[in-house]
Amino acid sequence: MAGPPEYLESNQQNVAALNVTNFATVPPAPLINGYNPQRNIVFQVTNYGQAWALYGFYTPGDIFAEGDIFSRGVKLTSDKNTKENFSDVSTLQILDKLASMPIYTWNYKDEPSVRHIGPTAQDFQAAFELNKDDTYISSIDAQGIALAAIQGLNEKLKAENAELHAKLAKLEARLSALESKS
């Protein structure tokens, strides 16, 4: 065979139709092209580590990427019908934990010139105990913590405002009483 075949097929479920190595020296070069039954290309993986979903891409499992993912948006499943074991949280406790959690500016070891800001996964796990391990922060949990902290801050501000309004009303009454005596 002079070169790689255009198509490799498998008619067996859960059997890869294509395993490819591309030794091209100038990336990105196509490594894997995925086709649907109509022979339309639906995704491509390059030897540069890029994965392109050209039509639609779904996997029932996890997708791991050692790099940036570019998208116009991300939709996280949040339907209450997919959840269980609900329990209330103390938004004030979350606010206090978030306020005491260290926030740093930092870079990834393989990107020394690109700065980021945020907590470490270890500090986040120690504060909130939400993940199975302490090497990542779930965006669902980070968003939930941020929303709960905003609610806690709102609750705190409402209480402080009510207290200040009560003090102001007392001071205005005292001032009015003093002015009426003179």
Contact 15/27 with Cβ under 8 angstroms?
Answer: no
- Tens of pLDDT, residue by residue over 62-118, are 566 666 777 778 888 899 999 999 999 999 999 999 999 999 999 999 889 999 999
Contact 107/115 with Cβ under 8 angstroms?
Answer: yes
Break the chain into its structural domains and give their ranges: 1-74, 80-181
Q: What are the distances in angstroms from CA 180 to CA 48, 122, 169, 173?
A: 83, 62, 16, 11
- Tens of pLDDT, residue by residue over 19-61, are 656 777 776 777 778 888 888 777 777 777 677 665 544 455 5
| For range 125-139, the mean pLDDT | 90
Angle ∠(81,84,90) on CA atoms, nearest 5: 115
When computed from its CA atoms, the radius of gyration of the chain, rounded to whole angstroms, is 28
**3 state DSSP class of 41:** strand
Per-residue pLDDT at 1: 42
Q: How far apart are CA 44 and CA 32, in angstroms?
A: 6
Number of Cα atoms under 13 Å in the Cβ half of residue 126: 8
Q: What are the distances in angstroms from CA 148 to CA 74, 86, 166?
A: 21, 15, 27
Q: How far apart are CA 113 and CA 109, in angstroms?
A: 9
Per-residue pLDDT at 133: 82
Nearest of 97, 102, 95 to residue 157 by alpha carbon: 95
